[in-house]
């Protein structure tokens, strides 16, 4: 869904973390692609999210190029959560970035409204049959009106 990439913002995080960005890539469920730059080596990088319902499960990111980590986060509720990145260091321990909201990282706020809106109801076969009956009735009345006009104009003296 390329049309969901509405706005791209890049936030510069502190410490060994650099530019971070996010964009919506799906609506049902709300799916966010998120990435961050890291200026030092790490065994792993995870993104941790916190929303109104509390802390979400951490999501492991993959190193897509040297120093750049990315991954996909699926949200069960469409919410502008706060995320922080945690780098697990080779020598042990970890470093956690500052928190940033998804909208700060580039997700358009409209996406959350779109994900919350219910899907339009699918038409049922009974709706289609009823519409077809009305269409057939309209065609019959149209043909009858044209025939009546033809008869009326044929009987009219010149």
Give how far Cα 150 sits from Cα of 6, 15, 37, 153, 157, Å: 58, 87, 79, 5, 13
Question: How many C-beta atoms lie closer than 10 Å to residue 79's C-beta?
Answer: 18
Same domain, 25 and 74: yes
Tens digit of pLDDT for each residue in 127-142? 677 788 888 889 999 9
Q: Which domain holds residue 149?
A: 124-158
| 99-113 per-position pLDDT tens digit | 999 999 999 999 888
Q: Are residues 69 and 140 in the same domain?
A: no
Average per-residue pLDDT for the chain: 84
Same-domain status, 55 and 85: yes
User: Does residue 86 sit in the same domain as residue 44?
Assistant: yes
The verdict on pTM exceeding 0.75 is no
Task: Average the pLDDT over 69-83 and give the result.
Answer: 93
* Residue 76: band (very low, low, confident or very high) from pLDDT cuts 50, 70, 90: confident
- Percent of the chain at pLDDT > 90 equals 50
């Amino acid at each position: 869904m390329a049309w969901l990439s509405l706005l791209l913002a890049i936030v510069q995080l502190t410490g060994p973390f650099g530019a971070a960005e996010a964009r919506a890539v799906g609506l049902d469920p709300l799916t966010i692609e998120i990435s961050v730059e890291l200026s030092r080596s790490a065994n792993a990088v995870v993104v941790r999210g916190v929303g109104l319902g509390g802390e979400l499960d951490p999501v492991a990111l993959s190193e897509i190029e040297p120093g750049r980590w990315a991954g996909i986060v699926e949200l069960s509720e469409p919410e502008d959560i706060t995320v922080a990145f945690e780098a697990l260091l080779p020598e042990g321990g970890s470093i956690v970035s500052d928190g940033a909201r998804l909208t700060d990282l580039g997700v358009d706020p409209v996406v959350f409204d779109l994900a919350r809106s219910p899907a339009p109801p699918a038409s049922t076969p009974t709706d289609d049959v009823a519409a077809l009956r009305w269409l057939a009735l309209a065609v019959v009345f149209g043909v009858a009106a044209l025939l009546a006009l033809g008869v009326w104009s044929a009987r009219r003296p010149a």
